[in-house]
């Protein structure tokens, strides 16, 4: 269990670093996929099999396919890479450091409440999640679905706007 | 210890059976193609051409392994490997038969009974496209990249309808475990009778996900030379072609398990067999159903022409997806009213 956790953590961190440091965008996307798989592995270790499978379907299976799709269409290479001004780089590093501080402080401030022990196998199953989502967390769940619906509507609007402009 | 021996032997057995069936599916395809076109087909190697797949395999291994000069070498090799791995992974959750009792030990004829089996299927199917995308891109060939893009957009479009058809099925059976879904269908209560539209949608989407005619636009030879495997030779090409047949086998197995009762057949418990032999007969029946579906795949390939790309997208988004949503809502209302 512990060795599995260590191997998965190593894989997660290494692939995440690879995403940032590799120059080739396709490799970057592929290492992000590896990273998502490692995170799904962590979910399996925590007995949250539903979450693990959803992680693979949604992130590795759908979103990253779209990413790869886009990169292939754009056909980026090293020559086409735009060089950014130095000031922009400084700002980017600063923002990233702020996000890092925020994330680390969340972990340390909420330490007593985070549970690292594997939960009972039932808690991560669909039959346990369903009632929880539709009873206790019904309102946040419905709000999220409205958010998604508005995103879909936005996409349709942007898509049809382009079509109209072309016709005129 | 015994658990591991049991599981490992089952994994090896399932793997071998899958490969052998995929091998002979190529022969079946060529034989049936010949039949539909009023030819004889391969008949030189062995009696009735039965050794033809072996001859093909040997030929694949002895062909020159060629990697184009400007191809990304690592990804070029990774592509066919991913295709093969994704094709084989699905076999893990398919229940092949009833439990068998050997030397007092109960042995389940299923590698892993996941409580999210149906979702696992959807997940692995969605990964299948990576092999094609990566291989097509790494070849550094315009036709291959076009094919990779076609394959990915096709997969994403048809995955949606497939997922919604699966959701309706899950609403009907009330379980995500493939084993429970199959067990709920005993006594002729096959899901296809309760979910006819869902089955039709799933069938069409399986054709699309397996990249078979009429949905094989990714390797449409009249437009794209050979599509994503234009630059491939030797066993790497063999892997891509083989993965297609494995996908066909798996799709047939999934359809038989989800909609056609899996290893059940009418009268299974009335012919008075012992438990073990009944289970073995069940396995045989399951493989018969799979063979029937595989014949259907081949039949369609040699009788229907290929879609045009815009027709494919229109079918996926404007016909299948609304039908799948309607089917899901209808199933929901029915199970509320009756349940």
Q: With contact defined as beta carbons under 8 Å apart, do B150 and B217 qualify?
A: yes
pLDDT computed for residue A91 by the predictor: 92
Tell me what pLDDT residue B41 has: 81
| Chain segment B89-109, per-residue pLDDT in tens | 888 888 887 777 777 777 777
Cross-chain Cβ contact A69/B133 below 8 Å:
yes
Q: Higher confidence at residue A62 or residue A13?
A: A13
Q: Choosing among A69, A73, A77, which should be mutated to test the B contact, i.e. which has the most B CBs within 10 A?
A: A69
Q: What is the mean pLDDT of chain A?
A: 81
pLDDT > 90? residue B10: no
Range in B31-35, B58-62, B266-270 with the lowest mean pLDDT: B266-270
Q: What is the pLDDT of residues B210-243, one digit of tens each?
A: 877 788 777 777 777 777 888 888 888 888 888 8
- Quote the CA–CA distance of A33 and A12 in Å, as a whole number: 10
Domains of chain A as residue ranges with CATH: 2-108+124-167 (1.20.120.1200)
**Is the Cβ of A50 closer than 8 Å to some Cβ of chain B?**
yes
Interface confidence (ipTM) of the complex: 0.79
- Say which of A50, A65, A69 has its CB closest to residue B116: A50
Say whether B134 and A30 touch across the interface (CB within 8 A): yes
Mean pLDDT across B275-280: 77
pLDDT(A80) > 60:
no
Specify the pTM: 0.84
pLDDT tops 70 at residue A167: no
Q: Tell me the pLDDT band of B305, cut-offs 50, 70 and 90.
A: confident
Residues of B in contact with A33 (CB under 8 A): 130
Q: In this complex, is the C-beta atom of A39 within 8 Å of any C-beta atom belonging to chain B?
A: no
CA distances B75 to B78, B82, B199, B214, B331, Å, are 5, 10, 36, 29, 44
Helix (H) or strand (E) holding B335: helix B321-338
Contacts A126 to B, Cβ<8 Å:
115-116, 176
* Phi, psi for B22 (deg, rounded to 5): -60, -40
Nearest to B134 by CA among B182, B74, B93, B56: B74
Look at B129 and A50 and tell me if their CB atoms are within 8 Å: no
**Distance of residue B99 Cα from the nearest chain A Cα, in angstroms:** 24
Cβ pair B115:A66 closer than 8 A: no
- Distance (Å) from the C-alpha of residue B237 to the closest C-alpha of chain A? 22
B79: closest chain A residue by CA: A30
Q: B148 to chain A: which residues are within 8 Å by CB?
A: 72
pLDDT given at position A78:
57
- Say which residues have a Cβ less than 8 Å from residue B76's Cβ, sequence separation at least 6: B67, B68, B135, B138, B139, B231, B236
Phi, psi dihedral angles at A161 (to 5 degrees): -65, -45
Does the beta carbon of A61 lie under 8 angstroms from any beta carbon of chain B?
yes
Residue with tokens 């073995």: B280
Nearest to B126 among A62, A68, A125 (CB): A62
Of B114, B126, B149, the CB nearest to A57: B126
A76, two tokens:
């980026």
Q: Report pLDDT for B136.
A: 84
Average pLDDT over residues B246-274: 81
Through-space distance between the first and last CA atoms of chain A, rounded to whole angstroms = 63
Measure the CA–CA gap between B184 and B178, rounded to whole angstroms. Answer: 10
Q: How confident is the model at residue B272, as a pLDDT?
A: 67
Residue contact A60–B119, C-beta within 8 A? no
Inter-chain residue contact B123 with A72, CB threshold 8 Å: no
**What per-residue confidence (pLDDT) applies to A12?**
92
**CB-based contact, B115 to chain A, within 8 Å:** yes
Say if CB B32 and CB B298 are below 8 A apart.
yes
Range from B94-98, B161-165, B172-176, B219-223 that averages highest in pLDDT: B161-165
Q: Quick check: B273 pLDDT over 80? A: no
Q: What is the pLDDT of residue B170?
A: 87
Share of residues in chain B with pLDDT > 90 (%): 6
Whether pLDDT at B2 is above 80: no
Mean pLDDT taken over chain B? 84
């Amino acid at each position: 269990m512990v060795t599995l956790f260590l191997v998965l953590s190593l894989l997660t961190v290494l692939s995440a670093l690879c995403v940032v440091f590799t120059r080739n965008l396709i490799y970057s996307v592929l290492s992000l996929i590896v990273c998502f798989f490692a995170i799904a592995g962590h979910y399996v270790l925590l007995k949250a099999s539903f979450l693990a499978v959803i992680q693979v379907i949604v992130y590795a299976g759908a979103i990253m396919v779209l990413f790869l799709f886009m990169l292939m269409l754009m056909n980026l290479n090293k020559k086409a890479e735009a060089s950014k001004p130095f000031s922009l780089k400084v700002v980017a590093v600063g923002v990233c450091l702020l996000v890092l501080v925020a994330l680390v402080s969340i972990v340390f401030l909420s330490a007593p409440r985070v549970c690292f022990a594997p939960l009972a196998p039932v808690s991560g199953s669909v039959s346990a999640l369903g009632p929880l989502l539709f009873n206790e967390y019904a309102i946040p769940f419905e709000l999220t679905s409205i958010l998604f619906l508005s995103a879909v509507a936005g996409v349709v609007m942007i898509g049809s706007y382009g079509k109209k402009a072309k016709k005129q | 210890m015994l658990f591991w021996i049991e599981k490992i032997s089952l994994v090896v057995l399932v793997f071998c059976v899958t490969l052998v069936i995929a091998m002979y599916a190529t022969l079946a395809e060529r034989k049936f193609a010949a039949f539909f076109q009023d030819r004889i087909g391969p008949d030189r190697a062995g009696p009735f051409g039965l050794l033809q797949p072996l001859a093909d395999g040997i030929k694949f291994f002895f062909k020159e392994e060629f990697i184009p000069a400007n191809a990304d070498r690592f990804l070029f090799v990774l592509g066919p490997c991913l295709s093969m791995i994704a094709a084989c992974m699905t076999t893990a959750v398919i229940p092949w038969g009833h439990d068998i009792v050997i030397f007092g030990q109960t042995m389940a004829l299923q590698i892993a009974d996941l409580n999210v089996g149906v979702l696992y299927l959807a997940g692995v199917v969605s990964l299948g496209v990576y092999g094609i995308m990566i291989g097509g891109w790494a070849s550094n060939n315009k036709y291959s990249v076009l094919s990779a893009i076609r394959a990915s957009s096709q997969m994403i479009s048809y995955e949606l309808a497939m997922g919604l058809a699966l959701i309706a099925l899950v609403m009907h059976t009330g379980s995500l475990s493939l084993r429970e879904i199959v067990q709920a269908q005993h006594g002729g209560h096959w899901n296809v009778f309760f979910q006819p539209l869902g089955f039709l949608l799933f069938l069409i989407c399986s054709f699309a996900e397996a990249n078979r005619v009429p949905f094989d636009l990714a390797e449409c030879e009249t437009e794209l030379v050979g599509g994503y495997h234009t630059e491939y030779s030797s066993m790497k090409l063999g892997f891509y072609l083989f993965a297609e047949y494995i996908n066909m086998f798996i799709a047939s197995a999934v359809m038989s398990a989800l909609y056609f009762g899996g290893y059940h057949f009418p009268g299974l418990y009335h012919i008075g067999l012992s438990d073990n032999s009944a289970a073995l007969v069940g396995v045989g029946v399951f493989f018969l159903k799979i063979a029937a579906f595989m014949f259907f795949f081949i039949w369609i390939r040699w009788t229907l022409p290929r879609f045009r790309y815009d027709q494919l997208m229109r079918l996926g988004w404007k016909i299948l997806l609304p039908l799948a949503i309607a089917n899901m809502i209808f199933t929901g209302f029915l199970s509320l009213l009756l349940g």
